[in-house]
Amino acid sequence: MNQISQICSYFYPMKNITILIIFISCFLTSTESVAQGDEKDIKYTYKMGDFNGIGKWYLGREIAYVMGFQGINWLERSEREKEEDVSTLIKNMKIKSDDTIADIGAGSGYHVFKMAPLAENGLVYAVDIQPEMLNAIELKNKSTGILNVETILGSEKSINLPKHSLDKILLVDVYHEFSYPVEMIESIKNALKPNGLLFLIEYRGEDSNVPIKKIHKMTERQSVLEMKASGLKLKKNIDNLPWQHCMVFEKNQ
């Protein structure tokens, strides 16, 4: 499958032509790691699946293509607060002033710059595998004068943060795109402090009314299955967001 010209397709057809055009023109990125010949790990299987999937499966779930930086304007869309109630999500995190937090797959930094003022005596890491996304965050950082945001270039297998350095980690609609979910969650566990929290935010796969393609959704059951396999326990699923699960997993060691 062409690795350069994969078209981004989260939403089902909607009346808003602007959103539709953005997604039709949005390219996805992928890597050589999805080739069957390069991957011998029995944790993953390979077969044909969804058009927007990479043909690589983990515990019965096909992994989706990553949304490319060309879709950055959609991440900053004015409708996002109404659709996702991000303000409530941030409240769910109960951020302390001295928290050290990482936003993995930070994209444009939409959540980063909402968390940073709350962790005024702490630090917020913006982690992404696309340098273009990190550049956008750094430009915004300079314009706002916020001093407690640091960008980190991650990889497909690691968030590249020190052991036991994080109080909280935020994953917003990104986990389902990890090409190596096992390795990434292991890296996340390593970076979390004992009793640290992972906030896994995913569009609800159980709800057909959520206007998102199936491959870009996750059910609570599938999420718990995958996190449990990695040694993380569901603490609670905060059911107060319009379209998304807000699942809180805890590291107990």
Q: Which pLDDT score, from 0 to 100, does residue 12 have?
A: 52
* Domain edges within the chain: 6-71, 77-250
First to last CA, the chain: 41
Contacts of 225 (CB under 8 A, 6+ apart): 59
Give me the CATH topology for the region 77-250.
Rossmann fold (3.40.50)
Give me the mean pLDDT over the 24-48 stretch. Answer: 58
Q: Is the pLDDT of residue 152 over 70?
A: yes
pLDDT band, residue 40 (cuts 50/70/90): low
Q: Over the stretch 76-117, which tens digit does the pLDDT of each residue have?
A: 999 999 999 999 999 999 999 999 999 999 999 999 999 999
130-to-31, 50, 137 alpha-carbon distances in Å? 12, 24, 11
At residue 231, what are phi and psi to the nearest 5 degrees?
A: 90, 20
Q: Is the pLDDT of residue 24 over 50?
A: no
Of the candidates 178, 171, 203, 172, the residue with the CA atom closest to the CA atom of residue 12: 203
pLDDT band, residue 3 (cuts 50/70/90): very low
Q: Is the pLDDT of residue 15 over 60?
A: no
Least confident segment among 16-30, 55-69, 202-216: 16-30
Q: Over the stretch 131-142, which tens digit does the pLDDT of each residue have?
A: 999 999 999 999
Q: Over the stretch 193-214, which tens digit does the pLDDT of each residue have?
A: 999 999 999 999 999 999 999 9
The number of helices, as runs of H, and strands, as runs of E, in the chain is: 8, 14
Q: Which pLDDT score, from 0 to 100, does residue 252 have?
A: 82
H/E stretch holding 193: strand 192-204
For β-strands 27-29 and 6-7, DSSP reports them as: antiparallel
Q: Over the stretch 170-197, which tens digit does the pLDDT of each residue have?
A: 999 999 999 999 999 999 999 999 999 9
Q: Which pLDDT score, from 0 to 100, does residue 162 have?
A: 97
> Which ranges in the chain belong to alpha helices (H)?
17-24, 72-75, 80-84, 86-92, 112-115, 131-144, 181-191, 220-229
Q: Which pLDDT score, from 0 to 100, does residue 11 have?
A: 55
Q: Which pLDDT score, from 0 to 100, does residue 37 have?
A: 42
For β-strands 61-64 and 233-237, DSSP reports them as: unpaired
